[in-house]
Structure 1
Amino acid sequence: MGNKYVLILVIFTVWMVFFDTNSWFIHKELNDEIDKLEGNRAYFKEEIKSDRNQINKLKDSEELERFAREEYLMKKENEEIFIIEFEDSIKTDKDG
């Protein structure tokens, strides 16, 4: 009589771990994906905070001018810009 219950328990456990649509493996995969997405969420929250700070800085006209000069190489009339690149600041194919 006891062997029948043990056999049913073993079959049920094997079914729940491997074959059921809510199996342990599927739950593990989903939990891993949730952890990955929460990591992405934290990263993007930091990026949003950084972008908001940058936007607030750019409301100042002097800061906006500095940003335009550095990022887009803009210049004033009758002004020349010389770009100086050092050997270690130049990206190569190895840098990716």
Structure 2
Amino acid sequence: MAALDQHTKRLIRLLSVRNIGWIVVAVAVIYLLFFDNDSVFFQFKLSREIRQLKEENRTLAEKIKQNKELLKNFDNPAYIEKFAREELLFRKRNEDIFIVQPVEEK
């Protein structure tokens, strides 16, 4: 019975008003850190996603710039012929094409 009284007194001390306040604060902090929609981990995930999207945006802007330059060149007939010969391997009649590839050194 004495052990029960000591256990009860200890439990009452733990559940005093001041300790309950700290317990409530701890539970609130844990909730805000892990379970809330605006949790710290969710914010880290969103900031990482924002960084990735900004990088993708920069890459796509660079591709758009390159494509605009390429599109400007397609107004020039000489460029169109050069492109068709080099990239698409087109040829004129009675013309042979030789593809020369560099030799790999071992």
Residue 54 of structure 1 deviates from its aligned partner by 0.5
Residue 5 of structure 1 deviates from its aligned partner by 2.4
Deviations 1:14-69 (A, max 9, x none): 00101122211111111101110110110010011001101101110000110111
Structure 1 runs of 4+ off > 3 angstroms? none
Query: Alignment RMSD, CA only?
Result: 1.2
> Residue 98 of structure 2 is aligned with which of 77, 82, 85?
82
Count of residue pairs the alignment pairs up: 88
Residue 3 of structure 1 deviates from its aligned partner by 2.6
Residue 76 of structure 1 deviates from its aligned partner by 1.2
Q: Which consecutive unaligned segments of at least 5 residues does structure 2 have?
A: 1-16
- Give the TM-score, by structure 2 length: 0.76
- Give the TM-score, by structure 1 length: 0.84
Relative contact order higher in (CA < 8 Å, ≥ 6 apart): 1
State the secondary structure of the residue aligned to 1:72: coil
AA at the equivalent of 1:17: L
Aligned to 2:54: 38
| 2:21 is the counterpart of 1:5 | yes
The structure with the largest alpha-carbon Rg is 2
